[in-house]
Structure 1
Amino acid sequence: MSGLKLALFDLDGTLVDSRALIAESMDEAFRVNGLPGCSYDQVRQIVGIELFEAIPMLLPEDYPPEGAVKVANTFREIFVRNRADGTHTEGLYPGARDLLDRLDRDGWLLGVTTGKPRRGLNHVLDTHDLHGLFVTLNTSCTGPGKPNPRMVLEAMNETGAEAHQTIVIGDSSHDIQMARNAKVRAAGVAWGFHTAEELDAAGAHSVHEDFACLERGLAAFGEMAA
């Protein structure tokens, strides 16, 4: 379908600043289960990957699978507790809402591709009143997560957008690899979990230092897609 422009956004580290919430909840989950603490640098490498796939990447190779499941469930409980009691929040990055509103007014189709479970996605949408902006919502709950291209391909199928009309925006190498695997444009943002250098190395077509830079990049992509 001609004239479409589809922007698929990651959540954690891209639209919402959940760095402290995720890292400190993971560290506590490890300690509760008798493991050494888990550093921010360790945690940031797996954010975006589906939780039960990600946890074993942080554990010793010989750690029992049932133990990994227990750590993952402990993390979920601590994460929800820390979010609920205000220990840390999932605030929108300054400039995120303004950009989404402008893209919506300019006729973009907006979507989410996230490693969060659907419950976590709904919490973010409810908290920040974002439901009306996104026409397609994709999580790892219903199939393979990042870097598998499934979420992007399902979003394209749902909206009718073609590959040359679709761009993925994310802060991790997993987002970039997912986009490249789906053969769509990959835009990295350098304010989240991975550095600009890591995003470049993963194959990002562009890397943006702030939302103003990202907006210019999306405008250029939109003209090219049209």
Structure 2
Amino acid sequence: MPAPKLALFDLDGTLVDSRQLIHASMDEAFRTCGLGGCEYDHVRKIVGIELTQAVRMLLPADYPEEGATKVTQTFRESFVRLRADGTHLEGLYDGVLDLLAHLQAEDWTLGVATGKPRRGLDHILDTHDLHGFFVTLHTSCTGPGKPDPRMVLEAMAATKTTPDRTAMIGDSTHDITMAINAGVRAKGVTWGFHTAEELSGAGAHAVFDRFEDLRTGLDRFGSGIGVAAE
């Protein structure tokens, strides 16, 4: 009996559109801490990385550690407040539910590998009633985050599958590099934070502009055909 087919999904920029919320929260955190704001093009490049590390990458190299800690905490506070007051929402992209239902019907095992903390992941699953789709959940709270392969390796171990039966789907180069580091199929999507050129440059085996095309690509991969043509 073949190993299960495992589709691992990133969250921010892949399943949920959190672009405005993340940028607004980081920009506010920088302004609150006297840093004059933070441009979207800078923020988008670090989304997916564990937050403390991501903030450090946005700050000057010689910025004091206590200052970086303050920026990180201020971001968390801004994020929670802006999400709670409805200023910015983390809405599902159109096509997410149809894709997940299709994959579930086709006997895929589904999981999440995200840079969000576990409480952020649980909020998304609760808000959009997604618990019934995913059987394995992995965050940066319990070990190295992206692009370290840990989350993918743990997901494969938890579901008793193999790299040749696993696809990682994400919108950032960090997702692609994590997938390659784990030896699984790396599938990029262009509706999130990184461009098609950036995803291809990171080594994505396939890049998709629409959920319909992603579904077709996963169907082909799951049936064992068309991998070389991706």
TM-score normalized by the length of structure 1 = 0.98
Alignment of 1:198-209 (within 5 A): 198-209=198-209
Alignment of 1:130-209 (within 5 A): 130-209=130-209
- Distance in 2 separating the partners of 1:97 and 1:70: 37
TM-superposition CA deviations, 1:42-68 (whole Å, max 9, x none): 000000000001101000111011111
Alignment of 1:25-64 (within 5 A): 25-64=25-64
Query: SS at the partner of 2:132?
Result: helix
Identity %: 68
- Distance in 2 separating the partners of 1:78 and 1:119: 16
- Distance in 2 separating the partners of 1:13 and 1:63: 29
Q: Is the 8 A contact 2:117 2:139 kept in 1?
A: yes
Residue 126 of structure 2 is aligned to residue 126 of structure 1: yes
Q: Is the 8 A contact 2:16 2:90 kept in 1?
A: yes
Query: SS at the partner of 1:192?
Result: coil
Letter in structure 1 aligned against 2:116: K
- Distance in 2 separating the partners of 1:162 and 1:134: 18
- 2:221 is matched with which residue? 221
Q: Is the 8 A contact 2:3 2:162 kept in 1?
A: no
TM-superposition CA deviations, 1:184-212 (whole Å, max 9, x none): 00000011000000000000000000100
C-alpha displacement of 1:127: 0.2
TM-superposition CA deviations, 1:113-132 (whole Å, max 9, x none): 00000000000000000001
Residue 68 of structure 2 is aligned to residue 68 of structure 1: yes
Letter in structure 1 aligned against 2:201: A
Letter in structure 2 aligned against 1:48: G
Q: Following TM superposition, where does structure 1 have runs of at least 4 consecutive aligned residues deviating by more than 2 angstroms?
A: none
- Distance in 1 separating the partners of 2:219 and 2:106: 10
Letter in structure 1 aligned against 2:131: H
- Distance in 2 separating the partners of 1:178 and 1:65: 27
Aligned residues: CA RMSD = 0.8
Alignment of 1:74-89 (within 5 A): 74-89=74-89
Gaps of 5+ in 2: 226-230
Gaps of 5+ in 1: none
C-alpha displacement of 1:2: 1.0
Letter in structure 2 aligned against 1:43: V
C-alpha displacement of 1:41: 0.3
TM-superposition CA deviations, 1:154-188 (whole Å, max 9, x none): 00000001000000000000000000000000000
- 2:228 is matched with which residue? none
- 2:7 is matched with which residue? 7
Residue 110 of structure 2 is aligned to residue 113 of structure 1: no
Query: SS at the partner of 2:23?
Result: helix
C-alpha displacement of 1:3: 4.4
TM-superposition CA deviations, 1:131-168 (whole Å, max 9, x none): 01101000000000000000000000000010000000
- Distance in 2 separating the partners of 1:69 and 1:106: 45
Q: Is the 8 A contact 2:164 2:185 kept in 1?
A: yes
